[in-house]
Every structure is written in C-alpha cells, then in structure tokens.
C-alpha cells in the first residue's frame, strides 16, 4: 500500500542476512601492522600519543611480529629510530643500523609467514628532519635524495626486506629505487609506493614515535601533496606505476576515501591505504574518555576504507582487530 515492491529493510532483518549480503568485508588478511624499532633499547617503551604502541628493541620487535603471525596478520612495515642523525641521513643505508638488524631478525623469525616491509625514507636519519638532503638554499634536493633512496633500498633488501615502501614523495623515487634494486640483483624485492601522500596534520603522533621534528618550524608541504587535490593524486599514482611500483598506497586513509575509490577503479595493481597515527590516536583518545566504543569505531572506519576500494590497510589496530574480528 503505497510502498515500493522492493523493501530494503528485508535484507537487514537478521545478522545472518546482513552477513550474506555484505559488500565489503574486513578480514585479518587485509591488515599490515606498522612497528617501530629503536636503537639502544633494552625494553619496549610505550608511545604516549599512540596507546598500545611501542618503540621496540630488536628482540621485542621480533616477539611482537610473532604475536602478529599467531593472530593471522599477514604483514608488517618497519620504521626505525637511530641514535645518531646527520645532514644526509647516512645511517639509513648503514648495513649495521638497527633498521637493518631488525629486518634481518624479522625475516629470520617470521619471514615464512609475514610479509616484511621496510619504510624507506630519510627523515628519521637527518638532523633537520626532512625526508631528503638539503640544497644550498635550504629546500630538499630531489635528485640528490633519490640517489640516496637507492642506497637505502639496497641495504634494506640485503637485510631481508620483501618489500620496500618509499614514503618521501620525491619525484622519480620509484624509478631510482627499482634501478638500484635491479643493479644489486634484487629483482624479487617489490616496491609499495606511498604514491599519494598528503601533507597532513594527522602524522603528529608518528613523529613522536620516531622522534622526528622538522628544523625551524618547517613542514613537508613542498614535497607532500596538498589535501585539496585529487587529480594530482591520480597523476602521482600513474607516474609511480609507470616507474615500476608493484603496489600503490594512499594516506591518510579516512580523509582520502574519494582518492582510494578513484584509484581502485583506474589501476590494476594492489591499492593500499594507511590509517595513520593521528587517525589511530583520535579513536584511542575518545575511547579512553568513554565517549565512543573504540573497537566498534575502528571496525567501522576500516570497513569503510575497504568499501572505498583499498585491497589492504596499514593500521596500528592490526593486532587488536585480528583478535576482535577473529582470524
Ligand atoms: C615519513 C613517514 C611519515 C609517516 C610514514 N612515513 C611521517 C611524515 O611524513 O612526516 C606517517 C605515518 C603515520 O602518521 O602513522 N617517513
């Protein structure tokens, strides 16, 4: 009587019906856990702005990776915090750096079960905190920087990384890294390109985690993307794939759902999204105050990121979600 024939509520009636008709599913198979290793630690140190996350020692990062494997998480991405920084970030390609020691320990311990990825950037290693080396005028020198990224990629591959993930947003970085890896015989090592990475205020907690501050109140707006732009993000993705990226990533996730959807529609490589530190911290902080149900909000946001088109998600919720949603 006045109702349309098709009543959409019919298929929402029971949990089983809803399960059957769900279009997007969040699975533990979609999750990659970012982990931090810090040089010179005997014990893991909690990161205050990222409740539940730690700066790890080499031995505790391996323990954490084994826990991830045991709950079914299929990948991790490693960030490292060195003791020493210098203008060129030379610690990044030191074969004995804590990053490389941890990669090799991780590959040995969990390499058969987890994909071991290495974030590839210089900001943790430069004394000025930028993602590259500086030219005389104080700007980041693109071409000098990508040459160094090639060295870092080879050091990470030598240490056992399955995937390197360049996050510096330099032009030509994927081509330079692919070339360096191939020259060194690392044809099998894949590149996950941080292809569309916005200059975001949501990276704040991460910078606490890796102890990076940018010299003289600087920012990354001269190399990371302006949040206003989507077509430019598509151009970044297209260039990275043309340069040899095996997978592309978009970040932050929740503020880029339109970009994720468009990229998933237009490219044929796996598309990842990074739910970044600020996205994690906001959920944790509100949950701690009892203002929201933290795990429920995390599932909702991660499912929306899947619905937008992400094939997998880098998220600090990986271990927690694996336990919450089941393997
Ligand atoms: C740069 C890098 C950053 C993040 C990943 N790689 C920080 C930045 O660009 O300043 C942010 C990740 C997060 O916030 O969780 N090496």
* 327 pLDDT more than 90: no
Query: Angle of helix 142-159 relative to helix 173-183, nearest 10 degrees?
Result: 40
Helices (H) and strands (E) in the chain, counts: 11, 10
pLDDT digits (tens, 9 = 90+) for 296-323: 999 999 999 999 999 999 999 999 999 9
Residue 113 in domain: yes
Residue 87: its pLDDT value, please? 97
Q: Is residue 60 part of a domain?
A: yes
Instruction: Tell me the two tokens of residue 226.
Output: 């302006």
Residue in this structure with the two tokens 């991790």, named with its chain if needed: 76
| 141 is a domain residue | yes
Indicate whether residue 121 lines ligand 1 (CB < 6 A): yes
Alpha-carbon span 209 to 161, nearest angstrom: 21
Task: Please tell me the distance between residue 280's alpha carbon and the centre of ligand 1 in angstroms.
Answer: 13
- The DSSP secondary structure of 85-145, one letter per residue, reads -BTT-GGGG-TTSHHHHHHHHHHHHHTTTSEEEEEE-STTTBTT--SSPBPTTSSB-HHHH
For β-strands 271-275 and 247-251, DSSP reports them as parallel
From the alpha carbon of 212, which atom of ligand 1 is closest?
A: 10
Nearest atom in ligand 1 to 169's CA: 9
pLDDT 10s digits, 68-85: 999 999 999 999 999 999
CA gyration radius for the chain?
A: 20
For residues 100-116, average pLDDT: 98
Residue-level pLDDT at 32:
98
pLDDT cut 70: percent of the chain above it: 98
CATH number of domain containing 46 = 3.20.20.70
Percent of the chain having pLDDT more than 90?
96
CA distances from 3 to 18, 112, 198 (A): 22, 56, 46
Residue 307's pLDDT is 98
Domain hosting residue 66, numbered range? 25-325
Tell me the C-alpha to C-alpha distance, in Å, between residue 116 and each of 100, 158, 177: 12, 13, 17
36-40, 216-220, 297-301: range with lowest mean pLDDT: 216-220
Structure tokens belonging to residue 38: 């810090």
Assign 261 a pLDDT band (cuts: 50, 70, 90): very high
Residue keyed to tokens 């790890």: 56
Decide if 166 is inside a domain: yes
170 CB less than 6 Å from ligand 1? no
Number of domains in the chain: 1
Mean per-residue pLDDT, 124-145: 97
pLDDT at 295 over 90: yes
The pTM for the full model equals 0.97
> Each residue of 199-212: b (16+ CB within 10 Å) or e?
ebebbebbbbbbeb
> Which ligand 1 atom sits nearest the alpha carbon of residue 275?
15
Residue 250's nearest CA partner among 196, 315, 313, 185 is 196
Mean pLDDT of 286-295: 98
Distance CA 291, CA 204 (A): 22
Quote the CA–CA distance of 27 and 24 in Å, as a whole number: 10
Band of pLDDT at residue 217, cut at 50, 70 and 90: confident
The residues pairing with 315 across neighbouring beta strands, listed in sequence order, are 275
Residue nearest to atom 2 of ligand 1 (CA): 167
- Which residue's C-alpha comes closest to atom 12 of ligand 1? 276
**Rounded CA separation 231/83 (Å):** 40
pLDDT at 117: 98
With cut-offs at 50, 70 and 90, classify the pLDDT of residue 4: low
Residue nearest to atom 11 of ligand 1 (CA): 203
Omega into 252 within 30° of 0, i.e. cis?
A: yes
pLDDT of residue 124: 97
Which residue has the least CA distance to atom 5 on ligand 1? 167
CB 98 within 8 A of CB 92: no
Helix (H, G, I), strand (E, B) or coil at 224: coil
Whether 292 maps to a domain, the answer reads: yes
- Per-residue model confidence (pLDDT) at position 185: 98
Q: By three-state DSSP, how is residue 284 classified?
A: helix
In the predicted model, what is the mean pLDDT of residues 135-161?
A: 97
Q: Supply the pLDDT for residue 216.
A: 82
Dihedral sign of CA atoms 158, 161, 201, 277 in order: negative
Mean pLDDT of 35-45: 97
Catalytic residues: 197, 251
* Structural domain includes residue 18: no
């Amino acid at each position: 009587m006045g109702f349309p024939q098709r009543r959409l509520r019919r298929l929402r009636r029971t949990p089983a019906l809803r399960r059957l008709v769900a279009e997007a599913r969040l699975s533990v198979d979609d999750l990659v856990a970012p982990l931090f290793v810090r040089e010179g630690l005997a014990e893991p140190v909690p990161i205050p702005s990222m409740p539940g996350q730690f700066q790890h020692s080499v031995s505790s990062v391996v323990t954490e990776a084994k826990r991830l494997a045991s709950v079914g998480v299929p990948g991790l991405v490693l960030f490292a915090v060195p003791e020493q920084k210098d203008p060129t970030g030379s610690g990044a390609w030191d074969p004995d750096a804590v990053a490389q020691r941890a990669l090799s320990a991780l590959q040995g311990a969990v390499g058969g079960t987890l994909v071991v990825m290495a974030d590839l950037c210089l900001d943790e290693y430069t004394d000025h905190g930028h993602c590259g080396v500086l030219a005389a005028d104080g700007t980041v020198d693109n071409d000098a920087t990508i040459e160094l990224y090639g060295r870092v990629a080879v050091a990470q591959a030598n240490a056992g990384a399955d995937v390197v993930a360049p996050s510096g947003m330099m032009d030509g970085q994927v081509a330079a890294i692919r070339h360096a890896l191939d020259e060194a015989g690392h044809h099998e090592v894949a590149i996950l390109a941080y292809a569309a990475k916005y200059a975001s205020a949501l990276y704040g907690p991460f910078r606490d985690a890796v102890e990076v501050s940018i010299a003289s109140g600087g920012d990354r707006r001269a190399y990371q993307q302006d949040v206003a732009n989507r077509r430019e993000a598509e151009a970044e993705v297209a260039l990275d794939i043309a340069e040899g990226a095996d997978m592309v990533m978009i970040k932050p996730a929740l503020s880029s759902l339109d970009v994720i959807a468009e990229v998933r529609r237009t490219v044929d490589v796996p598309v990842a999204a990074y739910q970044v530190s600020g996205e994690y911290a906001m959920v944790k902080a509100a949950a701690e105050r009892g203002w929201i149900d933290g795990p429920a909000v995390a599932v909702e946001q991660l499912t929306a990121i899947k619905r937008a088109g992400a094939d997998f998600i880098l998220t600090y919720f990986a271990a927690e979600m694996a336990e919450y949603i089941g393997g």
